[in-house]
Amino acid sequence: MFAYICQRLAQTLIVLFVMSFVIYALIGLMPGDPIDLMIQADPNLTGQDQQRLRELYGLDQPITTRYWNWLTAALQGDFGYSRLFAQPVLDVLWPRLGNTVLLLGCAFVLSLAIALPAGIAAATRPGSGFDGAINLFAFAGISIPPFWLAILLIILFAVTLGWFPASGMGDGFWDRAHHLLLPTVALTLARVGGILRYVRASMMEALRQDYVRTARAKGLSRRRVLVGHALRNAMIPVVTILALDMGMLVSGALITETVFGWLGMGKTIYDAVLGNDYNLALMGLLFATALTLLANLLADLAYAWLDPRISY
């Protein structure tokens, strides 16, 4: 197992290295550069100013030279400066990574807390009114645009009822928890439908298997059959989906972060890409890549725990 983990971590580093070049090249292919954005803000910028600024920021160099300069500095621990935030890139990203992990972690836990019991309950009552209600809830969550849902929550709970703040992150533990609730609910409602549907389908498949009939015939309790036998097998495809979801959440929380003013990775990466902040965009996307790869590694390890037949 230890050797497997080391091997996967080594693969992760290789993937990150390749991705660093791909991302840098893709950003370089985008039309315009930061100087073009400055020109639009100030039509009095002269050609000399433009040339001077391009030389100052190294934008007159070929993209391969710029990438090589970045790589050699990064290998020495210098990940460069964020032009947009006027700070070292890691100083910008670490707090935002923490904010994203907090928000995603809460949404993830809440999604599972709802999806697992609801999916199991629906799978044990297929075709019933309860199953229909659960499905309706799931489809509503999948169908409702996250942007609209976020605004609706703000209008209802912040503007009309005044129970929660409309946006921001707050200061201190309780204030932050107070600010965290609405964006967590928005993110959860957007995700829980899909997870719930997978749990329900996997459970229904598992409950049809011979070993479940055997377990019932042996006189095991309903709870033991569901949780100890069926759920464990049903969770394997669900774990796959959750791992993929983790990666999407980092960038997909962009809308939620923007609407609620939650300073997370999604919004930061978006702003960095649009603002042509090479260093920040590159590191942000590499962080997101690393999180996705890590989530998949955890999923693979979870398979081994769920299914004793799997070993590394």
Partner 1 sequence: MAKSYMHALARRPITVYGPDWDLRCLICTKLPTLENGLAEREPLPDGGTGIAVTYTLKEGLTWADGEPLTSADVRFSWQVGKHPKSGTVSQQIYERIRDVEIVDARTFIVHVDRVTYDYNAMAMPILPEHLERPIFERSPADYRNHTAFDADPTNPGLYFGPYRMTSMQRGARVVYERNPHWRGKAPEFDRIVVRTIENTAAMEANLLSGNIDMIAGETGLSIDQALALETRHPERFRYLYEPGLVYEHIEFNLDNPIVSDRTVRRALAYGANRTAISEQLFGGKQPVAEHNVNPRDRVYTDDVKHYPHDPETARQLLQQAGWTPGPKGIRTNADGEPLRLTIMTTAGNRTRELVQQVLQSDWAQIGVDLRIVNEPPRVFFGQTVRNREWDHMAMFAWLSSPETVPRSTLHSEMIPDGEGGGGQNYTGYSNKRMDELIDSMERELDPQRRAELWHELLQIYARDLPALPLYWRAQPYVLPLWLQGVEPTGHQYPTTLWVEDWRRVPAGEG
Query: If binding is defined by CB under 8 A, does position 265 make contact with partner 1?
Result: no
- C-alpha 192 chain-centroid distance: 14
Query: If binding is defined by CB under 8 A, does position 87 make contact with partner 1?
Result: yes
Is the separation of the CB atoms in 212 and 132 below 8 Å? Answer: no
Residue 23 or 239 with smaller CB distance to partner 1: 23
Q: Which stretch binds partner 1 (CB under 8 A): 14-22, 50-58, 100-108, 234-242?
A: 50-58
Contact pattern for partner 1 over residues 89 through 118, marking x by CB under 8 A: ---x--------------------------
Query: If binding is defined by CB under 8 A, does position 5 make contact with partner 1?
Result: no
CB of 114 to partner 1, least distance (A): 25
Q: Exposed (0-12), middle (13-18) or buried (19+): which is 224, by Cβ within 10 Å?
A: middle
Residue 12 or 167 with smaller CB distance to partner 1: 167
Q: Which stretch binds partner 1 (CB under 8 A): 38-46, 105-113, 189-197, 216-224?
A: 38-46
d(CA 85, CA 76): 22
- Measure CA of the first residue to CA of the last residue in the chain; give whole Å: 5
Query: What are the CA-CA distances from residue 65 to residues 14, 71, 72, 84 (Å)?
Result: 21, 10, 11, 22
Residue 52 or 213 with smaller CB distance to partner 1: 52
**Spatial CA neighbour of 289 closest among 102, 98, 25, 97:** 97
Q: What angle in degrees, to the nearest 10, is found between the helix axes of 265-274 and 232-252? A: 40
Q: Which stretch binds partner 1 (CB under 8 A): 132-140, 202-210, 240-248, 257-265?
A: 257-265
Contacting partner 1 (CB under 8 A), which of 22, 36, 113, 117?
36
d(CA 254, CA 266): 4
- Where do we find the tokens 């000399």? 48
Residues at the site binding partner 1, with contacts judged by CB under 8 A: 30-33, 36-54, 56, 81, 85-87, 92, 151, 154-155, 158-159, 162, 165-169, 258-261, 263, 267-268, 274, 276
